[in-house]
Amino acid sequence: MTALERFLHYVRIHTSSSENLERTPSEEREFDLARELEREMKAIGMERVFVDAHAYVYGFLSATPGCEERPCVGFIAHLDTIPDTDFPGMNVRPQLIENYDGGPVALGTSGRVLTAEINPRLPALRGHTLVTTDGTTVLGADDKAGIAAILTACERILAEGRAHGPVAVCFTPDEEIGHGAALLDLGRFGADFAFTVDGGELEEINYETFNAAAAHWEITGFNIHPGSAKDRMINASLVAMEINAMLPAGAVPARTEGYEGFFHLTDMKGTVEKAELDYILRDHDAAALEEKEKLMRLIEKQINEKYGPGTAKLTLREQYRNMAEKLESRMDIVELAERAIRSLGLEPRTAPIRGGTDGSQLSFRGLLCPNLGTGGYCCHGPFEHTTAENLDAAARLVESVIELAR
């Protein structure tokens, strides 16, 4: 089965995770894909295939004779797509455009058009078989492209009887809500090091992520009839707006790039009596993230001094840390990925992830885990797309890493 065939099958399985549910997986539907992958992994000849109670799917390739001393290399991709909010992961209807001409692409009847302004790399995909959404959902290339690449690579290696060292595979739930690595059983997995195969361009290697924290504000106002409100009313929604205005206006995702951090307001709701704000704080530099947290604490102090104790309550929570702290001592793992990328005729480059991956948490749990690209673009929205050729190249990249691992 080709990587494209696998991918088109997987994206039709609804696996969106959900925020704020205290369970793993967050949604039972993630088991639908987990069980499908279990069946498929057994069918292609993988060993010790197992789905645990939390929808983690494990499978292994034993080393071929003479390769037993090679390191065990792991590959990880995630089952879930982003939570069903603005653009769901259900009823996905992919569009296939063979011999793509490089021009604008109408996404179904949605009125949305994929253009080079949205993805500057789009014209370079001329001649490929382009895979897009119909404009009403995400596509699911994040990260069902990674799953397709890993299983296609394993199937080819097994079918062709190629020599290889030990390989460990795990497909995780709930990566999109930050829980994907938490319950991965490192003892069962047994890899010496691993790679997530999760988004990004094929020539990219990612071993730097943001340091990340979440901030939740609860604002308590005082409601009274507006006719007698002078010097008495505290409008919680207006206080929430004031808090946001006290943050640097340019330090937001839409105005930052590269190694520049940000404050990102992800959710807000409010009345006169109560209001809430949710932010994610991001910075590649740990000290800079700490300064962002200090600024929020200062704002909390000043708001409570102005409006009275208890008006604003701030809760900060660490989410993940920059895995470069761990990987900088094992750049041989990154160099292995570079050799594998060159085997595809591409020139490797490293790029910081303006986000996080399962590899962030796993690296701090002791499993060093940079990221390999899948050749997908514009994830987390209706303009998400990939190509059949990129899916196949991602599979060949996984094969090459397996063959080059020594």
Q: Which residues are catalytic?
A: 80, 175
CA distances from 307 to 247, 377, 379 (A): 18, 46, 42
Taking each helix axis as running N to C, give the angle between helix 286-307 and helix 236-245, from 0 to 180 degrees, rounded to the nearest 10: 140
- Among candidate residues 246, 366, 238, the one with its CA nearest the CA of residue 298: 246
Cα(96)–Cα(371) distance, rounded to whole angstroms?
27
Tokens at 57, concatenated? 């799917």
- Among candidate residues 234, 176, 193, the one with its CA nearest the CA of residue 358: 176
**β-pair partners for 246:** none
Do 383 and 111 meet the contact criterion of CB atoms below 8 Å apart?
A: no
Cα(338)–Cα(202) distance, rounded to whole angstroms?
11
Cα(200)–Cα(198) distance, rounded to whole angstroms?
7
How buried is 152 (Cβ within 10 angstroms: 0-12 exposed, 13-18 middle, 19+ buried)? buried
Q: Which residues contact 290 (CB under 8 A, 6 or more apart)?
A: none
Do 156 and 61 meet the contact criterion of CB atoms below 8 Å apart?
A: no
Cα(394)–Cα(11) distance, rounded to whole angstroms?
17
Cα(341)–Cα(137) distance, rounded to whole angstroms?
31
Do 170 and 150 meet the contact criterion of CB atoms below 8 Å apart?
A: no
The amino acid occupying position 2 is: T
